[in-house]
Structure formats: structure tokens, C-alpha cells
Amino acid sequence: MRGPHNIWRLIQTGATLERTGAMRSVLDAMEAPAPLRIAARVLGWPLKWLGEKGDPSMPAPSRALTALGPAYIKFGQILSTRPDVVGDIMAQELRILQDKLPPFSVAQAKAAVEAELGRPINEVFSEFSEPVAAASIAQVHKARLVETGEVVAVKVLRPGIERAFRRDIDAFYFSASVIEALSPASRRLRPTDVIAHFEGVVMGELDLRLESASASEFAANTGTDAGFQLPEIKWKYSGRRVMTLGWADGLPLGDNAALDAAGHDRVALSERVLQLFLSHALRDGFFHADMHQGNLKVAANGDIIAYDFGIMGHIDEYTRRVYAEILYGFIRRDYQRVAEVHFEAGYVPADRDVDEFARALRAVGEPIFGMDATGISMGKLLAYLFEVTERFGMETRTELILLQRTMVVVEGVARSLNPNMNIWKTAQPVVEDYIKQSIGPRAIARDLGQTLRVLSRFGPRLPTLVEAALIRQSTEPVKRVDHPWRARVAYVLLGLAVGVGSVLMWQSL
């Protein structure tokens, strides 16, 4: 860490937080003790003139981060997905954080494209527009390919953005270490781990090849989804600092007047956007984690088009099944089963009372089911659920926090299209279908088959593994009474498993 730079950046950050009025919100989110609050006030007030003023029309935290620059804007956007760290109030304020910044010149963008693709730009694009969108990390241009005449979107990283982000991330680590040293209470929020998470997300976004890969995987998963489109990645014209993809031509999903004028069914669109998200999360375990209106359009044929794949969520198969069973249990109002699922998954410590936990879950679910259609919210349900599980000792699971945050955003998009939407009724078919496919006798048989296939791969090595085990057993000191018959039974069962797995694999070929 470069001390002088980090100290100055820390002073500038603190001064900006004080000048914009965001300091109190930050200290509240950290649950800072009184001595730290007093020190921040005493040191911050005289130095606040060194900070940036920001936009007075914005909430204080967003105002401060916007004034401090691109790295802070992106940090705030990521923190908006972590109410477990900053609290619900600040997370809500940060969700409106805008990253629209002044664009860099077309000449710089063209130079970046030529350097990345290794060709003069007029050999690649016959047209290349002024920026149509400028964000904290990159900006987008509308262009036309020389080879095919197709209209495309070209995303170009800001000049010097990698160096600027690394400098500020370095300062973030320094700030986190200072906070942990001065405020022991803040350590439970693991500030250094939060910065490490931020660094991982940003470093991925600074390599547009990774975003292209995410878009390609997402397209492969959703290729058969009715009423859903993704712009095609043009790998030939993409690289680390440039990404080219098909132009998303359609109406903004948030423009209800334009959608009505074009004759689109907003009720159908609201149901589809929610069901698509749940399908991607449950069926694929890979979902668009930034599905706000700005990243969604409606094509002329009524299809929903998604773009901007910088933030994607991933959930493993086991977690998806647990999540589906929890949702399904709430839909059926079977709180005992929801409680049992939490214990079976190890989310809640085994020494807690399952019946007491079920009663706590009933207190979460019943008020929501007593509401009318406009009041029911799956996002709120998950937020309340996390509050209850935290009281019962459940550790924070980052992937579920991101899922819950995205669920809130998607619900907001759906309700903007149809305020009377019944979230549960819309979600039920998707959840039930996943339950049928992934939980039950057919799923158990499929899982067993996959397990046996994995075991069968050890078939050729089985004699060596058994011999090594026997040699190790014979050379180790005897510490207990051995039961050779148990070992023989285990080897026989393993041999049967490998044999059956080999047959299954042979039949599948």
C-alpha cells in the first residue's frame, strides 16, 4: 500500500462525507461507537472544505459517492446489494445511485478500438456514433459493421480506468484496516472482506471478455425461453477493453406510455419478466442481477430484451433446491416444512428449536398472506426471512442476499407495468415446475445415476486404491478394535457402485 496516497484519499473521502452530510449515515451503518463518532466529527468539520460538494438533489450517501468518482460510484452500487452490511435504509438510498458521467471523446474511443482489434477502425465499422450512454467504467457507441452492414453496440472502457480503480481499491483496503482498528464493533461486518468482494466484481467488469463470456453463457441457457431475447456477442470484434454486440432495438420497459401506444400487453409483460427471472435463478442458477428498466427493452414483437451483463448472479444446484423448497413452503403456508428445510441445509444451527423457528416463520408469512395482491412481495418476504434466520444464528449468505436484492428490483419492474400484480400467483407455476423436476423420485434417481457415474470413473483405479488402503491400515498403529468385515462390506458396496455406474455410462454412450 502506498501510504501517502492512501492517507490523502482517506482525508478527501472523509471531508466529502462530512461536507455532503453522509458521514452520519456511514457511521450508523458501521454501528460506530461514540468515541469514533466524536473523533470523526472533530476531525471532519475543519477539513470538510477539502471535500467535494456533490449534487444537493441526491440523498447524502449517493451524493458523496458520485462526487468522489467512478470507483466510489461502483462501490456504492455494489453496496446497494448488501443490506446485511450497510443496512436497509442506506441500501435503499444507494439503489438510486446513477453512474452517468461525462463521456470521453469519440477520438479516444476509436483509438481504443483500433488498439484492441489491431485494425484501422474504418476497416471494421462504416459508422461510429457519438456516445449514446456513458457510465462509470465504460461508454457505448452505436456503429455499423463493414462486413455485414449490421447495426451493433460497441462498449469501450474509459481510458486509464484500470489504473484509477486500482488506486482507489488500494485506498479502500487502507480505509477498511483503519476502520477495523478504530471500531472493533465494525469487525463483524468484515470490511476487508467487503472490499475483497468489490475488487473481484470490479476486476471482472474491467475485462470485457468476461462480460462477453457471461452474456454468451446466459444466451446458451435461455435460447429456448419464449418471449425473451439477448443481443448476440460479436466475438470477432471484441476483446479485453472492447465488447461488440447486436443492437437492442426496442422500447424502454419503463416507458408505459410508449408501450401502450405500441399496443403491448403490460400485464403479460409484468408476469413474463418475473417468471423469466425465477426460471433463470432456479432452473439455470445463473441470472441477470441488474434487471432494472434501464437494462430491459421490449421488441416490436413483444419480446423482452435484456442487456448489460456486468453483474450476474450464480447459485449452485443444492442452494437452488433449498431456495425452491423454502418458496414452495411459503406458497403452501407450510411453515414447519420451511423450518425443517433450513435445519436440513445447515443454515440454522442444529441446537436451535425447530418448532420455535417454525412459529417465527409463521409470524413472517401470515401477515404477508393477509395482504391484498398489491401488498404481497416476495422480496419483502425474503428480507423478513433473513431477519428471522439471523436471530436464530444463520450466517450471511452473499448469493442469497444478491438474489433477494434482484428479486426486489424485478418486483419493482413488474409492478411498474401492472400495479395489481399478484406476485405469489405469478411465481407459483415456475416454482412448482422446478420442484417437480428437481425434488422427488425422478430427481433422486437422476442424482443417484450421476453419483454412480462419478464413482465409475474410479473403476480402473479401484485395485490400487484398495491396496493402498490395506497397506496403510496394516502399517498404522492399532488404536482400536478393527472390524475387517466392515471393510469387506464397504469394498463390496463400492465395487457394486462402480459396476452399476459403468453399466449406466456404457448405456449412455
The residues that are catalytic are: 290
Sign of the alpha-carbon torsion through 251, 96, 243, 217:
negative
Buried b (16+ CB within 10 A) or exposed e, 194-205: bbebbbebbebb
Angle between helices 335-344 and 354-369 (to 10 degrees): 130
Beta-strand pair 304-306/228-229: parallel
Measured from the Cβ of residue 35, the count of other Cβ atoms closer than 10 Å reads: 10
CB 254 within 8 A of CB 293: yes
Nearest to 462 by CA among 490, 433, 421: 490
Measured from the Cβ of residue 447, the count of other Cβ atoms closer than 10 Å reads: 12
Buried b (16+ CB within 10 A) or exposed e, 125-142: beebeebebbbbbbbbbb
Sign of the alpha-carbon torsion through 304, 308, 311, 312:
positive
Query: Residue 206 class from Cβ within 10 Å (0-12 exposed, 13-18 middle, 19+ buried)?
Result: buried
Phi, psi of 314 (to 5 degrees): -130, 135
For residue 297, the cross-strand partners are 252, 305
Nearest to 77 by CA among 59, 64, 65, 89: 65
CB 159 within 8 A of CB 112: yes
E strands of 342-386, at which residues?
A: none
